[in-house]
Chains A and B, each alone.
Chain A
């Protein structure tokens, strides 16, 4: 007898689900094993804050490395400016919780009380940023449309605009109340004032909304909102970086992204509210690496690993999907992909945006982990570290990236102090071997760089090297130990 149609459909879909589970069993297993470990990390008494810090850093590096893998490996756009996206996420997320997650009426100034405030800050900043971007976009369209007058007009127009900007700022930079015609100066000082106005306008309703929420939800919600804001703005900056660099290839793209990363860093360096040169001390989300934290029901560990898992899942599934195939097609041969009908612009930019989003989220988590932000931490050096992880893992391999990220977060720590896992020994009374290990630790960055060069050379010469190794092995095997020939 024929089974009713719905039951046939259920059995069929069960088969589909079984197939899905068979191909995606790793992540559920990972989550199942890691969550209990996470619970262990949360228990203050049996945790080692130094190692906890390294592990949390591992998680952040996984997110960063996987997001960079999407940009560098899967979409083939060699980006050396990833630290810039991380910086935007870190500073915005940290600043949001530092200033706006405090309830206005709260005398004690405890952070993480007002998710509404954080959300409102994000919305206000978004609106003001879109307004500014819109105005600049209009100007850009005007300049582009002047091409109709004469093909050489746009560069001349652009130069005129730059000149106008320079003269305007030169006259007006120190005036308290610049005249009405000094548009650029009024805009420059007006935008922060507009932002302040919008924020203050909506802060009290937002705070009131926050008081309606159950108390134990406030902290995680604050962090979640801060992460989303950080990711969004980092993603927007990814858009800003990805769009102009569409025409650039290879080395030029690398240098352009390097330039963008440095511009972002210098921009933050010159912004007073973000701490300028002295750095910003933001509120720390309770975590096991911080021995000053009291016992609390909420820790940052699940957030960091949630972000790492989410980033890896999203990018892994993206790489395996049709969109991922399109991105890889654009990477392999842009002209052929365009000839087939793939929108190269869309696919290149989407890689930047998603990669930057996760980098921003990682940055915000980093800010809440350590509590101290200094632009030197987001310099070219950090971009290079991430690029090293991605390159050693191989362009396009997601799982190797996770492994290498964990390995290369641990390696400097192990090299810094090779007696790290010496349990029960008093390190200051240790012997000669330990002394040598400690001296080795001081050379860790040198070892790191030599390792990098060696890996790149080995990978380049892998076939001859492998042949050499095999010949050597064959040679060894053909000579039995007792000498009989």
Chain B
């Protein structure tokens, strides 16, 4: 038995000598993507992956970048931050990608960003809105707005358009995105004369929110801000309706998924949320994108994550072609120098903090669709 353990140990160690796994061939550019294809926030990952793949198809059809085709290597992080770290490590060490696209959720971007920063691989997040993500280092970028803007925009809309003054906040304590949004929303409300009369929390994965909702109901708010992800948001709205809470719920871009309607059903009617885009928008780029997406994915209407994934992929390809090489530093500098890139969701300019400045759309849920209500531009 002792020999067996010894032999096994020696055999195991020999494996370090084996060369690294195969990666994208030399005539291709490998771009890694880590997304939540399964798990609690699966629609985010699936949508952004579909948008990215649509973009890769378009780019490759036009001849690729720097004369080479792009190969998108996708790793599933199962909606878990620790798996995000493993996925990124695998992409960098095993698949030797030159840049990384991801993630939608801020928690997972925050977990994986230090790895990309350390290994000097540029990371472009399509939709992570928490400001901490790009603060990790100068190799981390994002192609969307940040939460101080989003929280303030929703608060401003609620106070100015809906004329509400007393709010309750019900946020997800396990989620950086939710914690951040709650902070910025509360700050705006308090500095503009409103009141936060109840501040309750839940955890991602909870099924039962009635205890906290009862407390919120007892405080008597005029609206409840629920900056969480769609899986819990649907349940929260239902249970709120069961408890007799009739005030509207407000939310952020984490609401954007078809599952919100499937789980929430009648209860999400009349709620508002901020988002990156609306399929009903008048602009030609949006109409084009929606048409191509529906053609490739048989009639499915793209959500915000899809268009952001699409834009991020195009932006990455554009940065690589401007950089003229696939070296990490060159791509990073090209990304930092992006000015007025014509994305489908809006014109993208990367500022000094490596964030993009884009307008916010406010949507209202009517029936099983989200209707466009207003656009709020960054100041």
Binding site for B on A (CB under 8 A): 26, 29-30, 33-34, 37, 40-41, 46-55, 58, 276-279, 281, 284, 288-292, 370-372, 374, 376-377, 397, 399-400, 402-403, 406-407, 410, 420-428
Contact B17–A279 (Cβ < 8 Å): no
B358–chain A nearest beta-carbon distance, Å: 25
- B61 at interface, CB cutoff 8 A: no
Which A residues touch B89, using CB under 8 A? 53, 289
- The answer on a CB contact under 8 Å between B118 and A52 is no
Task: Report yes or no: B16 in contact with A51, Cβ–Cβ below 8 A.
Answer: yes
What's the interface size class on B, roughly?
A: 35 or more
Known: A26-B6, A291-B92. A427 touches B22 (CB 8 A): yes
User: How far is the CB of B293 from the nearest CB of chain A, in Å?
Assistant: 26
- B196 sits at the interface (CB 8 A): no
A50:B94 contact, CB within 8 angstroms: yes
A402-B9 contact given A292-B120, A372-B82, A374-B81, CB 8 Å threshold: yes
- Given contacts A423-B19, A425-B22, A426-B22, are A277 and B175 in contact (CB under 8 A)? yes
Chain A residues with Cβ under 8 A from B90's Cβ? 50
Asked if B352 is at the interface (CB within 8 A of a chain A CB), the reply is no
Specify which chain B residues have a CB less than 8 angstroms from the CB of A54 in the assembled complex.
15
A158 to B107, CA, bound (A): 41
Q: Which of B140-179 contact A (CB under 8 A)?
A: 173-176, 179
Q: A291-B92, A292-B118, A399-B1 are in contact. Are A58 and B81 (CB under 8 A)?
A: no
Q: Which residues of B contact A46 (CB under 8 A)?
A: 16-17
B85 touches A372 (CB 8 A): yes
- A-side interface mostly: helix
- The 14 listed contacts between A and B (C-beta, < 8 Å) are A34-B10, A46-B17, A55-B13, A277-B175, A289-B93, A370-B85, A371-B114, A371-B115, A374-B82, A397-B1, A402-B9, A403-B5, A406-B9, A423-B19
CB pair B176–A399 under 8 Å, yes or no, is no
B12 beta carbon closer than 8 Å to chain A: yes
Contact A290 B81 (CB under 8 A): no
Q: When the two chains form their complex, are residues B6 and A55 in contact, meaning their CB atoms are under 8 A apart?
A: no
Whether B9 contacts A34 by the Cβ 8 Å rule is yes
Out of B9, B20, B110, name the residue touching A278 (CB < 8 Å).
B110
* Chain B residue contacts of A279, Cβ below 8 A: 81-82, 107, 110-111
Those of B53-86 within 8 Å (CB) of chain A: 80-82, 85
Complex-state Cα separation, A55 to B114, whole angstroms:
23
Asked if A400 contacts B20 (CB within 8 A), the reply is no
Q: Give bound CA distance, A304 to B186, whole Å.
A: 47
B296: CB under 8 A from chain A? no
Query: CB of B119 within 8 A of chain A?
Result: yes
Known A-B contacts A277-B175, A372-B85, A400-B1; A407 and B8 likewise in contact (beta carbons under 8 Å) = yes
Smallest Cβ distance from B204 to chain A, in angstroms? 8
User: Given A40-B17, A281-B114, A426-B25, do A291 and B82 touch, yes or no (CB 8 Å)?
Assistant: no
A399 CB contacts on chain B under 8 angstroms: 1-2, 4-5
Q: Which of A29, A46, A292 has the most CB of B within 10 A?
A: A292
Instruction: Give the complex CA separation of A284 and B179 in angstroms.
Output: 27
Q: Determine the distance from Cα of A377 to Cα of B2 in the docked complex, in whole angstroms.
A: 31
Any chain A CB within 8 A of the CB of B18?
yes
Min CB gap A56→B, angstroms: 10
Task: Say whether A52 contacts B16, CB under 8 Å.
Answer: yes
Return chain A residues, CB-CB under 8 Å to B110. 278-279
Pick the residue among A29, A53, A277, A423 that contacts B18 (CB under 8 A).
A423
Q: In the assembled complex, which residues on chain B have CB atoms less than 8 Å from the CB atom of A276?
A: 173
**Considering the chains assembled together, what is the distance between the CA atoms of A428 and B95 in angstroms?**
11
- Measured CB to CB, the closest approach of chain A to B181, in angstroms, equals 14
